[in-house]
Amino acid sequence: MEILLKYFSDFTPEQLKQFAALNPLYKEWNSKINVISRKDIDGLYEKHVLHSLAIAAAFQFEPGMEILDIGTGGGFPGIPLAIFFPEVKFFLADSIAKKLKVVDAVVEALELKNVTTQHIRVEEIKNRKFNFVVSRAVAPLKDLWGWSKPLLKKSQKSAVQSRHSETNSELRTMNLELPSPGLICMKGGDL
């Protein structure tokens, strides 16, 4: 957990307690239902929690915003972001029910009142709009955009851009404009 404090120093006591509880919760649940690679479970804070919080380093969600986490899996990036932004509403969706069983247990244990989960494919979400859609290593960017676009609240347009040149090349071929707010997706792997 120390690695979180290296990058984020302004956690409340409640947030520190919640982040500290993640390790034992995920170790217990991961022994029953594999939601994190067994080889990665000891690197939970670096490979999953900190990786998820990279979004918080770049984006400031405002209180009352609604964020959709597509393909949340074991609750990443949604759960760490929900701890970080307690005044923001998070909707964690996944098509695999057993993964959501773990997510629901973690949400309940942490008493996260700002998280709702649903066993659903993103394509089936209807009559809901979100300020942002977040995703972590779920699908190719083109698919993520196709699923996200109809779920985003309308606002001003802004060009999509990434820090990675190969991603920018892919984005240019798609000729996208992103509603701002919009899609925030993260590639898997190490920071």
Task: Sketch out the chain's domains with CATH numbers.
Answer: 2-186 (3.40.50.150)
Q: Record the tokens describing residue 191, joined without a space.
A: 């920071």
Q: Record the tokens describing residue 135, joined without a space.
A: 């995703």
SS3 34: coil
Q: What is the pLDDT of residues 138-172, one digit of tens each?
A: 888 888 889 999 999 886 444 444 444 555 566 56
Q: pTM for this one?
A: 0.85
pLDDT at 188: 60
Q: What is the pLDDT of residues 96-149, one digit of tens each?
A: 999 999 999 999 999 999 999 999 999 999 999 999 999 987 888 888 889 999
- Rounded to whole angstroms, how far apart are CA atoms 68 and 89? 9
SS3 170: helix
Q: What angle do CA 69, 74, 75 make, to 5 degrees?
A: 35
CA 35 centroid distance within chain: 14
Q: Record the tokens describing residue 184, joined without a space.
A: 């925030």
pLDDT at 179: 44
